Amino acid sequence: MSVINGADYLSISQDLANARDTIVSAQQDLFDAVYKVVMLQVITPEVDLLNDFWETYVSNVELLTSPSNILPAVSSLQQHVVERSTSGTVNGYIFNNVWPNLLDPTFYDLSARAGYNIDSTYVDWS
């Protein structure tokens, strides 16, 4: 059976975690823009900008806070290692191929949301 190697698994899992963290931070960036418009305290720019800025923020909140846009990739990665490795489980694969390297907490959360629980021992909580 051919299965992804541990170094590539670790790298891909980190890329997915980084993508999720970037998406979440985008929500804060949009809110910061709205806040700055409010804090202008100059009526004309506020009137011109506030409604559209607020609508942009509100319309993107659900998209940016939901991990559903990344879960298919996480699920696919985890399913691959379960089905293709001799370990038969995500934790067995991590133990045999990734350990002692540790996974990102964001990936730990995404994996759990995708239905693949990772033992917290394999996560870098620092």
Q: Say what the pTM is.
A: 0.83
Separation of alpha carbons 92 and 90, rounded Å: 5
Q: Is residue 50 one of the residues assigned to a domain?
A: yes
- Give whole-number Cα distances, 119 to 60, 75, 78, 88, 107, in Å: 32, 16, 14, 15, 12
Q: What is the pLDDT of residues 77-123, one digit of tens each?
A: 999 999 999 999 999 999 999 999 999 999 999 999 999 999 999 99
When divided into structural domains, the chain yields a total of: 1
- Give the total residue count for the chain: 126
Q: Is residue 10 one of the residues assigned to a domain?
A: yes
Residue 111 and residue 22 in contact, taking contact as beta carbons nearer than 8 Å:
no
Residues of the domain holding 20? 6-122
Q: Is residue 1 one of the residues assigned to a domain?
A: no
How confident is the model at residue 60, as a pLDDT?
87
Which of 96, 110, 102 is CA-nearest to residue 21?
A: 110
Q: Is residue 73 one of the residues assigned to a domain?
A: yes
Q: Is residue 13 one of the residues assigned to a domain?
A: yes
pLDDT exceeds cutoff 90 at 63: no
Residue 32 and residue 74 in contact, taking contact as beta carbons nearer than 8 Å:
no
